[in-house]
Amino acid sequence: MGRFLLGLIIGICLVAGGAFIYFTTGMAPVAATAQPMPFERLLAKKALHAKLQADAPKTVPLQPTTQNLLAGAMVYSHNCAFCHGMPQAAPSVEGSGMFPHAPQLFTQRDMVTDDPPGVTYWKVKNGIRLTGMPSFQKALTDQQIWQVSLLLREADKLPPEVTAALVPTPAPAAAPAKPAPEPKHR
């Protein structure tokens, strides 16, 4: 029994020492362009899923009225579109340069319309470690977080006025430059 225990302790120390060397010598992939570490995606998804099951709100204090969806569209445009893109627009360059890539929340593939609003609320409020998703807990009010969560829940069936609010208006064309006045000769 003593040899088994000694072998177990030595084995644990070797694994811990190997992990320490892996991370402290620069061998671990830390660049956004690097391949994920072994089991990184699996472990991160399992941990996030468990946390969301435990902590995401189950009830929604707001209704998806046009007014709330329009307010959510303003919040999204100012705080989320930079990474997560806009409807009928090319994917966000910033979001595609992240690891993992920021989901483009108005594309069929990445919509979160099947997620309960409480899950999206939790993600916006708390952020998600190791993804680039920041916490908006100090930047937005709870009402604003719920409004953007409802917007994303309804993303595939938004009223026309809300969809129109999410389409960026083209910048006005620059006026042609006036030619410089010719110098007066004396």
Ordered by where they begin, the domains of the chain are 64-165 (1.10.760.10)
Q: How confident is the model at residue 22 (pLDDT cuts 50, 70, 90)?
A: confident
In the predicted model, is pLDDT for residue 7 greater than 70? yes
Token pair 């389409």: residue: 167
What CA–CA distance (Å, rounded) separates 19 from 172?
56
pTM, entire model: 0.77
**At 70, phi and psi to the nearest 5?**
-65, -40
Q: What is the pLDDT of residues 81-114, one digit of tens each?
A: 999 999 988 888 888 888 889 999 999 999 999 9
Q: Which amino acid is at 12?
A: I
Find residue 133's DSSP bridge partners: 128
For the stretch 48-51, contacts whose Cβ atoms lie closer than 8 Å and that sit 24 or more positions apart, written own/partner, are 48/128
Q: Is 127:62 a contact under the CB 8 Å cutoff?
A: no
